[in-house]
Amino acid sequence: MLAAIVLLTGLACLVGWEVLCLGEVARAERVRLLPRWAWVLACLMLIPTGGILYLLYLLVGRVWHRGAARS
């Protein structure tokens, strides 16, 4: 019983992670380095590595403006 709960919790976390990553790809104003469809495939095929790579890419590739107001 405990193993089933752990398995279902892990599966729910992976599904939530994929929804988060695919939502970020869909909402992105501009996607660089790879086409949007390639990021979607990477996120789906390399679970959870593809999503981690995409979110790291978002953090590293973000253009930071000095003195700009945060929204």
Percent residues over pLDDT 70 in the chain: 86
Residue 14 pLDDT greater than 80, yes or no: yes
Q: Which residue is it, tokens 């790809």? A: 25
Rounded distance between C-alpha atoms, residue 36 and residue 11, angstroms: 25
pLDDT at 2: 92
Q: Are 46 and 53 in contact (CB under 8 A)?
A: yes
Rounded distance between C-alpha atoms, residue 44 and residue 58, angstroms: 17
Percent residues over pLDDT 90 in the chain: 18
pLDDT at 53: 83
Tell me the pLDDT band of 7, cut-offs 50, 70 and 90: very high
**pLDDT tens digits, residue range 35-58?**
889 888 888 888 888 888 887 887
